[in-house]
Amino acid sequence: MQCQDVHKFGQKLVRRRQLKPTEGVESPEARHLNTLDLVILGVASTLGAGVYILVGEVAVFIAGPAIIISFLVAALSSLLSGLCYAEFGTRVSWTGSAHLYSYISVGELWAFVTGWNLILTYVIAVASVARAWSHTFDSLIGNHISQALEGTFSPYMPYFLAKYPDFVALAVLLLLTGLLVLGAPESTLIYKVFTGINVLVLSFIIISGFIKGDLHNWKLTEQDYALNTSESSGTSRLGPLGSGGFAPFGFDGILQGAAMCFYMFIGFDAIVTKGKEALNPQWSIPMSTMITIIICFLACFGVSVALTLMVPYYQIHPDSPLPQAFLHVGWGPARYVVAVGALCALTSSLLGDMFPMPRVMYVMAEDGLLFRGLAQIHAHTGTPVMAIISSGTLAAVMALLFEFSNLVDFLSIGTLLAYSLVALSVLALRYQADQNFSKKEKTEEEIEMEPKVEENHSEPVSEAGNSNILKSLWFPTSAIPTQKSGQIVYACAFLLALLLTILNLILAQWPSQVFSGDPMLTTVAVLLLLLITGVTVIIWRQPQDPSPLPFRVPALPVLPLVSIFMNIYLMMQLTSGAWIQFGVWNAIGFAIYFGYGIRHSLEQN
């Protein structure tokens, strides 16, 4: 009896939604976004706080001028994740997210984990952008707000919180939350205007960097550092020297910088949530996703080049890097242009994250995985009022209490996990039988086939059955996916995720020992690589779903696995404090799921 209960419980964790069109007739007027509109939305959601604020902190303390390589690594990881998102966007032509895609492909528990961490992603993204907006606004008026608040509250703030509560960020988010509750429409025109100003300002920064930049700032020495120290009024404003040169903090600094720079590319998944509003989602979603990531990489790459050429990396101001850089090169009035551009970029980024933020919470509540009250729709405005209030209030509290850099680390872990689950979902779903059958059709087909299976096997076939299973790992019996081949891919995919996690943990914790030939660690790493290669070949040998798709992730199963590997490795580079916060967040999530969601899920029926 206990075995049956355990089996039923396990089945609940992996139950999946069927991949089929939404019911009801869709209004043609609902589809109004073309590829350009989606690109603008993606750039507006992505190109904000990171390129104006975070670039300074990474350059000063983590990577130095080699931040441009950190951007390259982060962009490559984002591009691989974007390709996986794009395939899902073509499979599902209605409004969705990574939560829905995980629900379809890998089951309910992972769908909850994905959705729960997507909520975290949006909440922390909104909070961090609001905090950056407050810093930028404060710098325009002479930093009077921060000085007053820090002088008043700093002695009473715990070490793990910000130096002072940011009441400006709190007020901005509460105001926007109220507007969303009242049904404020999402305006593509606002995105276009603010994104246009943002691109012009970033172009001005990049061109200025090439005009006023000095290549000597990429090969600084101890003598340069000592000279700058003697010329400054004190050493407190100078960051660490490291070893000097282009990569003063070494390869570790580049990778840690890449983990933080990943924040710069968070937001392109907002495009996928617009499937219902896109004119041609099968074409425009993958194209706009790729174009958005490329534009954001070029902008971040160009700005980081300009900044590190204009200012020695240890003299970059971490809280206001770009305006202070123009002061450093003698172009003082230009800092106001940069500040205005930053405010426009941060405003569009804030709006781009605020609108989709409650949707994930609403969809999960509608599925029964979160409390049903969060799916409540306001009778007059038609907005998910409880989801908006809950997510907006949570983001406002985060912005009030946490530093920008702490929010970035926390955000990157949740996003990298969600993107890894999307890649895992692509890998699993491509090798499953046709997902467009309804449950009734599949059941009838299975019933029809059962007598044939029983007729072809006598009782003493357990050994032969085991032999056939082992044989099917390398020599599948069908050219199209079957239930057995699908189960093989599921098992192999989760085994690969585990093996990649262990390998990344070893590489992140003991890289020098592994590459220097430590007998134990090097042997374990090589064995893991052999196992990963063998399991990957098993997946590659299984038949793929031949259904035509407008876009397919190339080089399956290798590309999704490389995406998972890079995402997990970047996660390993983040701070222990961020991991503790992440663990607390997911512990709360699991308590909600096992206490409420598993019993109230729509799939329970």
Q: What pLDDT is attached to residue 512?
A: 85
Q: What pLDDT is attached to residue 25?
A: 39
Q: What share of the chain is helix, strand, coil (3-state, %, to 5)?
A: 75, 0, 25
Of 268, 263, 301, which is closest to residue 406 (Cα–Cα)?
263
Inter-residue contact 362 to 384 (CB < 8 Å) = yes
CA distances from 224 to 231, 313, 317, 327, 501 (A): 11, 11, 18, 20, 42
Q: What pLDDT is attached to residue 594?
A: 93
Inter-residue contact 434 to 548 (CB < 8 Å) = no
Tokens at 255, concatenated: 């990778």
Q: What pLDDT is attached to residue 1?
A: 53
Residue 20, pLDDT above cutoff 60: no
- For 97-106, 172-181, 491-500, 587-596, which range has the lowest pLDDT when averaged over its residues? 97-106
Pick the most confident of 144-148, 310-314, 454-458: 310-314
Q: What pLDDT is attached to residue 76?
A: 92
Choose between 494 and 605: higher pLDDT: 494
Backbone angles phi, psi at 375, to 5 degrees: -95, 10
Give CA torsion, residues 113, 115, 116, 120, to 10 deg.
130
The HSE-up count of residue 356 (CA atoms within 13 Å, CB side) is: 27
pLDDT digits over 291-329, tens only?
A: 999 999 999 999 999 999 999 999 998 878 998 899 899
Inter-residue contact 316 to 239 (CB < 8 Å) = yes
Q: What pLDDT is attached to residue 246?
A: 94
- Three-state secondary structure string covering 542-588: CCCCCCCCCCCCCCCCHHHHHHHHHHHHHHHCCCHHHHHHHHHHHHH
Q: What pLDDT is attached to residue 575?
A: 84
Q: What pLDDT is attached to residue 499?
A: 95
* Mean pLDDT within 341-360: 85
Total-model pTM:
0.82
Inter-residue contact 161 to 581 (CB < 8 Å) = no
DSSP state of 27: P
Choose between 472 and 527: higher pLDDT: 527
Q: DSSP 3-state assignment of 33?
A: strand
Structural domains present in the chain:
31-430 (1.20.1740.10), 452-604 (no CATH)
Inter-residue contact 604 to 128 (CB < 8 Å) = no
Of 100, 170, 127, which is closest to residue 266 (Cα–Cα)?
127
Question: Which pLDDT band holds residue 586 (cuts at 50, 70, 90)?
Answer: very high
Q: What pLDDT is attached to residue 453?
A: 39
Average pLDDT, the chain: 83
Choose between 439 and 125: higher pLDDT: 125
Of 145, 422, 481, which is closest to residue 269 (Cα–Cα)?
422
Q: What pLDDT is attached to residue 463?
A: 52
Choose between 228 and 308: higher pLDDT: 308
Of 328, 318, 313, 316, which is closest to residue 246 (Cα–Cα)?
313
Q: Which residue in this structure is represented by tokens 């606002």?
A: 190
What residues form DSSP beta bridges with 33? 278
Backbone angles phi, psi at 154, to 5 degrees: -50, -45
Q: What pLDDT is attached to residue 466?
A: 55
Question: Which pLDDT band holds residue 532 (cuts at 50, 70, 90)?
Answer: very high
Q: How far apart are CA 603 and CA 100, in angstroms?
A: 13
pLDDT digits over 361-412, tens only?
A: 998 998 889 998 998 888 887 888 999 999 999 999 999 998 888 888 888 8
* Mean pLDDT within 174-199: 85
Q: What pLDDT is attached to residue 266?
A: 81
Q: What pLDDT is attached to residue 464?
A: 52
Q: How far apart are CA 349 and CA 347, in angstroms?
A: 5
Inter-residue contact 268 to 78 (CB < 8 Å) = yes
Q: What pLDDT is attached to residue 168?
A: 93
Tokens at 321, concatenated: 């890097």
Q: What pLDDT is attached to residue 472?
A: 65
Name the helix (H) or strand (E) containing 293.
helix 281-310
Residue 192: count of CB within 10 angstroms of its CB = 16
Q: How far apart are CA 48 and CA 131, in angstroms?
A: 12
Tokens at 3, concatenated: 């075995």
Q: How far apart are CA 514 and CA 277, in angstroms?
A: 50
